[in-house]
Amino acid sequence: EVKLAQSGGEVKKPGESLRISCKGSGYNFANSWINWVRQMPGKGLEWMGRIDPRSSDAHYSPAFQGHVTVSADRSINTAYLQWSSLEASDTGIYYCATLPRIWGQGTLVTVSS
């Protein structure tokens, strides 16, 4: 089965750091970009950025550039999305996806003091 399995939900305080993960299985992980998509509570889908697991080449949406970092470890078929300093406005569900077909189940990140 082709699958992206994401790490579990997180509750953090503003200013804390965080890394969430996305593990691919059932396909050649190196052959497809991994995208990260945010969905804030009750809002739409926002593309954040993507990484090529083969080369580690990364692209970012201007809205997220400098605030998050995407990375990947091809040896363990895993991609990551990380923040060095979370803000309350980072609260939301974060999906990894190869786009358009394979989506992770989403990771709920809650940032609250």
Partner 1 sequence: DIQMTQSPSSLSASVGDRISITCQASQDINSLLNWYQQKPGKTPKLLIYDASHLESGVPSRFAGSGSGTVFTLTIAGLQPEDFATYYCEQHDIRISFGGGTKVEI
Residues of the shown chain interacting with partner 1 in the complex, contacts defined by CB under 8 A: 35, 37, 44-47, 50, 59, 61-62, 95, 99-101, 103-106
Q: Left (φ > 0), alpha (ψ -120 to 50) or beta: where does 44 sit?
A: beta
Q: Whose Cβ is closer to partner 1: residue 54's or residue 106's? A: 106
Nearest distance from C-beta of residue 46 to partner 1, angstroms? 7
Helix (H) or strand (E) holding 58: strand 58-60
φ/ψ (deg, to 5) at 22: -150, 110
Q: Would you say 39 and 109 are in contact if contact means Cβ atoms under 8 Å apart?
A: no
Q: Whose Cβ is closer to partner 1: residue 18's or residue 96's? A: 96
d(CA 17, CA 82): 7
Q: Whose Cβ is closer to partner 1: residue 16's or residue 40's? A: 40
Q: Whose Cβ is closer to partner 1: residue 7's or residue 61's? A: 61
Nearest distance from C-beta of residue 60 to partner 1, angstroms? 9
- Token pair of 7 as six digits: 């790490």
Nearest distance from C-beta of residue 12 to partner 1, angstroms? 22
